[in-house]
Structure 1
Amino acid sequence: MQTAYFGRRYMLSASHRLHSDALSDEANRKTYGKCNNPHGHGHNYVVEVMVGGPVDSNTGMVVNMATLDEVVQTSILQRFDHTNLNLDPLFVNQVPTTENLCRAVYTVLRDALRTCKLEYVRVEETENNFFQFEGD
């Protein structure tokens, strides 16, 4: 079976505070710097989703773009856009770093996608910082 790939980018805005209960206040400030601000801070994230699979002989597609958009909209954007990530149940026991956000988006999408394989998720936090997760 030959695999083809399709990628799509989405935007979401969210805030977070990088703070670990396992560290002292001083260690948190030293580890996370300005990102440890008690009031949090926000980002305009770009989430890139790459899926793969065989090209359907009837449609000529790996996945219908509208189907992928619907899955991302309902499972990722509605959940995370314009929220405080610290308040999401996925981050109750972990620091909502963008590394962990990337892993969380991957896990949620992997479980929601039925018609293709999720290859990776890439999250751009700033124009200089990006993170990628390819699963287990």
Structure 2
Amino acid sequence: MVYLTRIEHFNAAHKLYNPRWSKEKNEELFGVCANENWHGHNFDLHVTIKGTPDPDTGFLMDAKKLSKLINEKILEQLDHKNLNLDVPFLKDMMCTTENLATAIWQQLTPHLPSEVQLHAIKLYETPRIYVEYFGE
């Protein structure tokens, strides 16, 4: 089994806020991330696929095609957007990095060639905080 990772980058704003809770409870749990005027991150997205390299090309998947797929299905939806307001596949969801990584998995999986499988989504919210999701 060979693993190939493509790294992409996007910027987006969001707010962590549960509308069922009071402003005070949201601020207590989410702190500055509950800021009513939003806040942003410079996200780094690592998409790892796995499979067996093609005997004719030696590629697991052409990395340029993987990048194009990520750009079309994910980055065009997320980059320079408000995750809470602008992204249909995040509607009615708490826009945590955990939920975002899971949603990215769900958006990419149906569009990958049958010869490969999505292995992991690693999403850096900051250089010190990231989430990994393995489709489980």
TM range (shorter): over 0.9
* Structure 2 counterpart of 1:24, one-letter code: S
Instruction: Measure, in 2, the Cα distance between the counterparts of 1:92 and 1:71.
Output: 22
CA drift of 1:13 comes to 0.3
Tell me the SS of whatever aligns to 1:125: strand
Q: TM-score, normalised by structure 2?
A: 0.94
Alpha-carbon deviation of 1:89? 2.0
1:90 partner amino acid: F
Equivalent position of 1:43 in the other structure: 41
1:101 aligns with 2:103: no
Cα distance in structure 2, aligned partners of 1:108 and 1:90: 8
Between the aligned residues of both structures, percent identity stands at 31
**Which runs of no fewer than 5 residues in structure 1 stay unpaired?**
none
For residues 8-66 of structure 1, give each alpha carbon's deviation from its aligned partner in whole angstroms, at most 9, with x where no partner exists.
Answer: 11000000011112222111111100000001000000000000011110000111111
Query: Which of the numbers 12, 20, 27 marks the counterpart of 1:14?
Result: 12
Residue identity in the other structure for 1:108: Q
Letter in 1 for 2:123: V
TM-score scaled by length of structure 1: 0.94
Q: Provide the aligned length of Structure 1 versus Structure 2.
A: 134
Q: Contact 1:7 / 1:48 at 8 angstroms: preserved in 2?
A: yes
2:111 paired with 1:112:
yes
User: Structure 2: any 5+ residue segments left out of the alignment?
Assistant: none
Question: RMSD value over aligned CA atoms?
Answer: 1.0
Which residue of structure 1 lines up, in the alignment, with residue 72 of structure 2? 74
- 2:52 maps to 54
